[in-house]
């Protein structure tokens, strides 16, 4: 390969990485397009040097060097952010007594069948290579319900979290960060308890997690399916239309009332006066004041479903007060949530960062896509919509346990849970810093030699540091250049260097340098007795 | 469901769990068979009560409630052990400056094609649902090489670990713990460095990991491919037979020399005198003494490949001495490793627990299965063979980078790595303790009420503990029974209880009880001022 070709190949890789980063960070499309144009130019030049043709399948690269569509590698910098997010969230979960379980990445096809409505077409199947038919998991909730149904009563008191990848054969929208492989982060409490206690702890956990994640200001919208159903009933919605109308209401966060009303009346055949009555209710939001207002509503409070919901919400507010999180909640009658299986309270956390952009006067917002209607929380997208969501689902486990002669489930375990949109959290956190500023290793000390290599001496010192649980590295060269050692230490953001030279070693001395110090007098580090090295470093590291 | 049926169903579940545990722990097959007989009896009784028939597909359970063949759920107890193993290993990796990357669970089919020889038939393919053909990853090494080839020179100095699941459509041997979905734990150092420095640090890391994992005594067998190739050459093995003969040698840990010799001569057509010469070499093992002996071998030391290998081994021993791990190594000429791609030192760690059972006189050992010949480390099985393995592979990345006009790889990144058989480690650690003794949660304090419920007071106290980063739980009941609260606290192995009663609360007091204390005078706990509760607990927790 000529030098120019090599340079071009490297530039193309760098340019591709740059474009990928821009897309991940939701850059303006004009900016992305400009960078793509640069990339094309580089590729054309390389093609020309290669004789004007790209290598085909039979060419010198026998295969395409890429990851599958909708998937990507996460490099060390991205993983450092991911691991920080996971450990922050996991710490909160564990503080509340949670344990984790692990389920296989694929399930029998029939376990997933019929659980996701028309989204079932997005399920990845494994090829038929003989034996059972299997599919990649689509979410973590169905495997959890399957686990509970299989493991019966021993898991009736169970706080479990599960952070793992799920798979959807969706059209990837990489610019929005929507992937075919992405992480979900679920926390659920399973078991039969007294009203709203577990529900309030879930909300407490959600607020603690978001507070610790540094994602900015957020609001947790809450509502109750039973209140919503009661409203639909008293307004005169026929039973079979309750779920479709509920799903229309769910669009109110993105669409104006006129559009939602049109969907109710024109698409779903609701009389206009019924829609208008609903409109009066669903525009309400507030806190305990709204609860009092609804309880004072003579029509609504006489509806059995609404009365039950209002009673539970009253209990919930009492508990939210004790947990000191009422101020983070917004009792929002327009929150309906897509998924059919919710049976009690529902909630959705929205951050400023993830809120839809404000609309200019007269600008028409895009309607929520059909897909989102039935999607619990579209964690496959980032930068838009909610950052966490969930609710109570008391009947899902029963779907897996089979029914007895009376037609009742053999085993019913009520559940309440929340899913944190970790892909969005990553995206928010990644956009806050430059990749090169992220320290992906945890190395604390770099062992540097001045003069003639001193490899064995550097190894001895590293070994002593490791023995004392200090994270240390050195350059894998017999005679490394000093500037190369400095720049490795800087590039890897290692806070301290131990500098050794022959003369000083003979005197039983080494030097310790704080790499972050701007103090010119400390440029060469400070001299430390070799025998005090470990203690000196430990003292400095505890001050970090 | 009648009571008897319910009891039976529960007993069946418990029995199935028991059998699963026995198998996981490699119990005697007679013991397992006895428990299976019990299970059959229970099932027959239940069938009889159900009218003598099992429910079919069209029956009341519309689907089979199980995980796919060769996969299993890992419950909270198992996950607690797994997470401990992962964090122990990860800590060692990070101490040595490692970072992690994440690659997708599936790759383009062509990336995996042609990398695993005849084991390629074990690769899981995704169904053809339009678009690209994809396969589940078979190991973590090929995706790593693909990542390096794609990301070019920026990752030429790279210590990376990756702990993730891989997939093999193998015949599952659940009794041996061989699964179709299992974890691999890889650590590799990629980059062009001076001889044996990275190699020696990999061995240092391996010993630190095994020392910290509490898997018992172990030995790391080491050898060098270039020495082995030199031996084959000087003994007169034709070049095209070197790899097949090497793979025969690799069986010496399980088979006696006579069987291996037979394979060399009868199966692989080597003249008997050549095999005998090899036999003299490969039975050698030792330390630096063996190295000196081989260097003094006039025939061998004149062979270019052997000379290079001996020189590198000499350097390696120097570095192992510095890292103080020579005593854990056994320079073993019979270690050959199956995989073709190794180009330098190779190693394999064997623990007492994972060593093959001693043979009775005259008893014939089972030959190593064909499969194992080409398998780097059969991490899919536990309880037999090695617990970690690896080596240097300098040419693998080049397979992905394409070749230039001269037929050389566009990018070549030398690598050295080790794979720790974490499934075996889990198995060893799980067999050391009873499931019920494992604490899967991290809860430190259980808040208990005496008397009339005091739910809100328990919530307030839990909230105060959480605020102070103390891991706390309470029972989700308005008026929980005292004995139920005690037993939850005990079952979850929670070390401390905070006990509250109305009278004491009114006096500003609570009681703290150390649940592990056998001291009868401490039975009811000690009285503590409510305002001192957090400090009192923190003091006690730091003493744990």
Residue B34 has pLDDT above 70, yes or no: no
SS3 B183: strand
Query: What is d(CA A507, CA A530) in angstroms, rounded to the nearest whole number?
Result: 9
Quote the percentage of chain A above a pLDDT of 70. Answer: 85
Closest-CA residue of chain A to B191? A476
User: Is B76:B440 a contact under the CB 8 Å cutoff?
Assistant: yes
What pLDDT was estimated at residue A31?
Answer: 67
Mean pLDDT, chain B, as a whole number?
A: 86
How far apart, in Å, are the Cα atoms of B452 and each of B341, B481, B489, B498, B528? Answer: 70, 9, 19, 16, 21
Query: What is d(CA A279, CA A276) in angstroms, rounded to the nearest whole number?
Result: 5
Number of neighbours of residue B2 by Cβ within 10 angstroms = 8
Contacting residues of A for B410, CB less than 8 Å apart: 1, 9
The string of DSSP codes covering A186-245 is EEEEES--STTHHHHHHHHHHHHHHHHHT---EEEEEEEHHHHHHHHHHHT--GGGHHHH
What pLDDT was estimated at residue B140?
Answer: 96
Contact state of B104 with A71 under an 8 Å Cβ cutoff: yes
Query: Nearest by CB to A68, which of B129, B132, B466?
Result: B132
Question: Nearest-CA neighbor of A317 among A351, A285, A292?
Answer: A292
CB-based contact (8 Å) between B34 and chain A?
Answer: no
Confidence of residue A382 (pLDDT cuts 50, 70, 90): very low
Residue B469 has pLDDT above 50, yes or no: yes
Contact state of B194 with A463 under an 8 Å Cβ cutoff: no
Helix A304-322 to helix A225-235 angle (10° resolution) is 150
Question: Nearest-CA neighbor of B104 among A166, A86, A430?
Answer: A166
The secondary structure element, H or E, covering residue B11 is: helix B3-24
Question: Nearest-CA neighbor of A459 among A486, A432, A477?
Answer: A477
Contact state of B67 with A107 under an 8 Å Cβ cutoff: yes
The secondary structure element, H or E, covering residue A506 is: helix A502-506
What value does the CA radius of gyration of chain B take, rounded to a whole number of Å?
Answer: 29
User: Is B414:B190 a contact under the CB 8 Å cutoff?
Assistant: yes
Give the tokens for residue A135. Answer: 């599919």
Question: Nearest-CA neighbor of B366 among B353, B385, B345?
Answer: B385
Looking at domain A76-431, what is its CATH homologous superfamily?
Answer: Bira Bifunctional Protein; Domain 2 (3.30.930.10)
Average pLDDT over residues B417-434: 91
Query: What is d(CA B51, CA A169) in angstroms, rounded to the nearest whole number?
Result: 44
Question: Nearest-CA neighbor of B367 among B250, B471, B477?
Answer: B250
Question: Nearest-CA neighbor of B541 among B473, B470, B477?
Answer: B470
Query: Nearest by CB to B404, which of A1, A131, A181?
Result: A1
Query: What is d(CA B116, CA B471) in angstroms, rounded to the nearest whole number?
Result: 48
Question: Nearest-CA neighbor of B260 among B395, B365, B386, B134?
Answer: B365
Residue A368 has pLDDT above 70, yes or no: no
User: Annotated binding site of B for L-histidine, which residues?
Assistant: 139-141, 168, 184, 188, 337, 341-342
Query: What is d(CA B380, CA B181) in angstroms, rounded to the nearest whole number?
Result: 8
Q: What is the DSSP letter of B117?
A: G
Helix B455-467 to helix A304-322 angle (10° resolution) is 50
| pLDDT single digits (tens) A152-161 | 778 878 999 9
Confidence of residue A37 (pLDDT cuts 50, 70, 90): low
In degrees to the nearest 10, what's the CA dihedral of B357, B360, B363, B368? Answer: 10
The distance of B475 to chain A (nearest Cα, Å) reads 9
Quote the percentage of chain B above a pLDDT of 90. Answer: 64
Least confident of A508-517, B21-30, B431-440: B21-30
CATH class, range A441-542: alpha beta
Residue A335 has pLDDT above 80, yes or no: yes
Give the tokens for residue A537. Answer: 């470093």
Give the tokens for residue B393. Answer: 């592979």
ipTM of the shown complex: 0.82
What pLDDT was estimated at residue B453?
Answer: 94
User: Who wins on pLDDT, A373 or A453?
Assistant: A453
| pLDDT single digits (tens) A529-541 | 999 999 999 999 9
Q: Is A46 left (phi over 0), alpha (psi -120 to 50) or beta?
A: alpha
Phi, psi dihedral angles at A204 (to 5 degrees): -60, -45
Number of neighbours of residue B90 by Cβ within 10 angstroms = 18
Number of neighbours of residue A482 by Cβ within 10 angstroms = 12
Burial of B286 (0-12, 13-18, 19+ CB in 10 A): middle
What pLDDT was estimated at residue B265?
Answer: 95
Least confident of A173-187, A449-463, B197-211: A173-187
Q: Which residues contact A13 (CB under 8 A, 6 or more apart)?
A: B150, B151, B152
Confidence of residue B343 (pLDDT cuts 50, 70, 90): very high
Contact state of A74 with B153 under an 8 Å Cβ cutoff: no
Confidence of residue A177 (pLDDT cuts 50, 70, 90): low
Closest-CA residue of chain A to B71? A104
| pLDDT single digits (tens) B386-421 | 899 999 999 889 888 878 888 888 888 999 999 999
- Give pairs for B241-249: CB < 8 Å, separation 24+: B241/B268, B241/B269, B241/B270, B243/B340, B244/B268, B245/B270, B245/B278, B246/B336, B247/B336, B247/B338, B247/B373, B247/B374, B249/B278, B249/B282, B249/B334, B249/B336
User: Annotated binding site of A for L-histidine, which residues?
Assistant: 139-141, 168, 184, 188, 337, 341-342
Query: What is d(CA B172, CA B297) in angstroms, rounded to the nearest whole number?
Result: 47
| pLDDT single digits (tens) A235-247 | 999 998 998 899 8
Contacting residues of A for B201, CB less than 8 Å apart: 476
The string of DSSP codes covering B62-79 is -S--SPPTT---B-HHHH
The distance of A102 to chain B (nearest Cα, Å) reads 5
Q: Which parts of B212-307 are beta strand (E)?
A: 218-224, 285-286
User: Who wins on pLDDT, B374 or A534?
Assistant: A534
| pLDDT single digits (tens) B112-144 | 987 887 788 899 999 988 889 999 999 999 999
The distance of A414 to chain B (nearest Cα, Å) reads 13
Beta strands B99-100; B106-108: pairing state: unpaired
Average pLDDT over residues B54-74: 69
Phi, psi dihedral angles at B500 (to 5 degrees): -120, 145
What pLDDT was estimated at residue B254?
Answer: 84
The secondary structure element, H or E, covering residue A528 is: strand A526-529
| pLDDT single digits (tens) B262-277 | 999 999 999 999 999 9
CB-based contact (8 Å) between B198 and chain A?
Answer: yes
Confidence of residue B156 (pLDDT cuts 50, 70, 90): confident
What's the count of helices (H) and strands (E) in chain B, helices before strands? 20, 16
Most confident region among A51-55, B163-167, B254-258 by mean pLDDT: B163-167
User: Is B260:B251 a contact under the CB 8 Å cutoff?
Assistant: yes
| pLDDT single digits (tens) B277-306 | 999 999 999 999 999 999 999 999 999 999
Q: What is the DSSP letter of A303?
A: S
Most confident region among A30-34, B398-402, B531-535 by mean pLDDT: B531-535
Quote the percentage of chain B above a pLDDT of 70. Answer: 84
Average pLDDT over residues A384-397: 87
The string of DSSP codes covering A131-163 is S--EEE-S-SHHHHHHHHHHHGGGGSSEEEEEE
SS3 B360: coil
What pLDDT was estimated at residue B504?
Answer: 94
The distance of B270 to chain A (nearest Cα, Å) reads 36
Confidence of residue A373 (pLDDT cuts 50, 70, 90): very low
Confidence of residue B523 (pLDDT cuts 50, 70, 90): confident
User: Who wins on pLDDT, B250 or A22?
Assistant: B250
- Is CATH 3.30.930.10 the right assignment for the domain spanning B76-430? yes
What pLDDT was estimated at residue B6?
Answer: 64
Mean pLDDT, chain A, as a whole number?
A: 86
| pLDDT single digits (tens) B40-59 | 666 756 665 554 444 433 34
What pLDDT was estimated at residue A257?
Answer: 94
What pLDDT was estimated at residue A154?
Answer: 80
Question: Nearest-CA neighbor of A290 among A274, A308, A313?
Answer: A313
Please calculate the CA angle A499-A501-A502 and round it to the nearest 5 degrees.
155
Closest-CA residue of chain A to B475? A193
User: Is B479:B452 a contact under the CB 8 Å cutoff?
Assistant: yes
Query: What is d(CA A236, CA A277) in angstroms, rounded to the nearest whole number?
Result: 9
SS3 B496: strand
Q: What is the DSSP letter of A449?
A: E
Interface of A with B in 470-529 (CB under 8 A): 470-473, 476-478, 488, 492
Confidence of residue A60 (pLDDT cuts 50, 70, 90): very low
User: Is B47:B405 a contact under the CB 8 Å cutoff?
Assistant: no
Sign of CA dihedral A524, A530, A531, A534: positive
CB-based contact (8 Å) between B97 and chain A?
Answer: yes
Q: Which residues contact B367 (CB under 8 A, 6 or more apart)?
A: B251, B254, B255, B259
Question: Nearest-CA neighbor of A102 among B12, B182, B107, B23?
Answer: B182
Query: What is d(CA B281, CA B233) in angstroms, rounded to the nearest whole number?
Result: 12
Q: B513 has which bridge partners? A: B497
Average pLDDT over residues A468-475: 97
């Amino acid at each position: 390969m000529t030098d120019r070709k090599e340079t071009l190949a490297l530039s193309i890789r760098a340019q591709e990485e740059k474009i990928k980063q821009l897309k991940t960070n939701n850059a303006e499309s004009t900016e992305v397009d400009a960078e793509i144009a640069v990339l094309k130019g580089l590729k054309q030049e390389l093609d020309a040097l290669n004789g004007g043709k790209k290598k085909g399948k039979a060419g010198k690269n026998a295969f395409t060097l890429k990851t599958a569509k909708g998937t990507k590698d996460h490099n060390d910098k991205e993983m450092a952010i991911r691991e920080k997010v996971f450990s922050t969230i996991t710490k909160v979960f564990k503080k509340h007594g949670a344990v984790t379980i692990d389920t296989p990445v694929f399930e029998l096809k029939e376990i997933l069948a019929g659980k996701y409505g028309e989204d079932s077409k997005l399920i990845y199947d494994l090829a038929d290579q003989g034996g059972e038919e299997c599919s990649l998991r689509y979410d973590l909730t169905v495997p959890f319900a399957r686990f509970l149904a299989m493991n019966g009563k021993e898991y009736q008191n169970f706080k479990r979290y599960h952070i793992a990848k799920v798979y959807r054969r969706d059209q990837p929208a990489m610019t929005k960060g929507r992937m075919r492989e992405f992480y979900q982060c679920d926390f659920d409490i399973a078991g039969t308890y007294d009203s709203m206690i577990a529900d309030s702890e879930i909300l407490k956990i959600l607020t603690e997690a978001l507070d610790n994640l540094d994602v900015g200001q957020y609001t947790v919208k809450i509502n109750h399916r039973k209140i919503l159903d009661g409203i639909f009933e008293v307004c005169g919605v026929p039973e079979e239309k309750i779920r479709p109308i509920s799903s229309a209401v769910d669009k109110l966060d993105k669409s104006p009332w006129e559009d939602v009303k049109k969907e109710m009346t024109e698409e779903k055949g609701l009389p206009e006066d019924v829609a208008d009555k609903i409109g009066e209710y669903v525009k309400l939001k507030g806190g305990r004041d709204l609860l009092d207002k609804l309880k004072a509503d003579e029509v609504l409070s006489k509806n059995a479903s609404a009365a039950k919901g209002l009673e539970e919400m009253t209990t919930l507010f009492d508990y939210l007060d004790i947990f000191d999180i009422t101020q983070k909640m917004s009792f929002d009658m327009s929150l309906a949530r897509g998924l059919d299986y919710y049976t009690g309270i529902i909630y959705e956390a929205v951050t400023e960062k993830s809120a839809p952009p404000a609309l200019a006067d007269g600008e028409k917002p895009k309607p929520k896509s059909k897909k989102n209607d039935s999607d619990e929380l579209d964690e496959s997208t980032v930068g838009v919509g909610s950052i966490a969501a969930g609710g109570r689902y008391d009947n899902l486990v029963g779907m897996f346990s089979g029914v007895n002669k009376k037609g009742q489930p053999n085993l019913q375990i009520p559940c309440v849970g929340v899913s944190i949109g970790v892909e969005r959290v990553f995206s928010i956190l990644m956009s806050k810093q430059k990749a090169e500023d992220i320290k992906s290793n945890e190395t604390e000390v770099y062992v540097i030699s001045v003069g003639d290599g001193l490899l064995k001496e550097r190894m001895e010192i590293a070994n002593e540091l490791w023995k004392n649980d200090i994270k240390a590295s050195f350059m894998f060269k017999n005679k490394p250049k000093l500037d190369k050692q400095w720049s490795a230490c800087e590039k890897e953001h290692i806070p301290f260097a131990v500098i050794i030279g022959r003369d000083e070693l003979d005197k039983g001395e080494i030097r310790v340098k704080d790499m972050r110090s701007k103090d010119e007098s400390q440029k060469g580090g400070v001299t430390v007795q070799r025998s005090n090295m470990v203690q000196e470093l430990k003292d400095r590291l505890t001050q970090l």
